[in-house]
């Protein structure tokens, strides 16, 4: 199953910890995440590095479904105050197959 990393950064003044407007948007997205997993047949793990104003969302599933999640209104709202990179990654099993040449 393909794995994607959505790596997002925001400015310190937009940090949801201190900014009421972005906090509301962040919480709205978190509240929807489990529903998106079911709706789009994705496995989503969200991580945060608060002192670096960095968030990483790991999605396992199809590219099309991952893109559908990124187009949800709550996700689009988050992109109003952050920049996001999307990278396709290999899980550990896929990486080991590549290293072993199998």
CATH code of the domain covering residue 23: 3.30.70.1060
Number of domains in the chain: 1
Residue 102 has a pLDDT of 76
SS3 letters across the chain: CCEEEEEEEECHHHCCCCCHHHHHHHHHHHHHHHHHHHHHCCEEEEEEEHHHCEEEEEEECCHHHHHHHHCCHHHHHHCCCEEEEEEEECCHHHHHHHHHCC
Q: What is the pLDDT of residue 74?
A: 94
Residue 15, pLDDT score: 95
Range of the domain at 56: 3-100
pLDDT of residue 88: 93
Which segments of the chain have a pLDDT < 50? none
pTM of the model: 0.83
Please report the pLDDT score of residue 87 as a whole number.
Answer: 94
pLDDT at position 91 is 86
């Amino acid at each position: 199953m393909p794995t994607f990393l959505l790596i997002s950064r925001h400015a310190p003044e937009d940090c949801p910890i201190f900014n009421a407007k972005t906090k509301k948007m962040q919480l709205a997205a978190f509240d929807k995440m489990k529903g998106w997993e079911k709706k789009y047949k994705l496995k989503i793990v969200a991580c945060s590095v608060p002192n670096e104003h960095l968030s990483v969302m790991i999605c396992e599933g199809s590219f099309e479904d991952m893109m559908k999640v990124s187009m949800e209104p709550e996700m689009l709202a988050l992109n109003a105050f952050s920049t996001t990179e999307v990278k396709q990654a290999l899980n550990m099993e896929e990486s080991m197959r590549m290293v072993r040449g199998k």
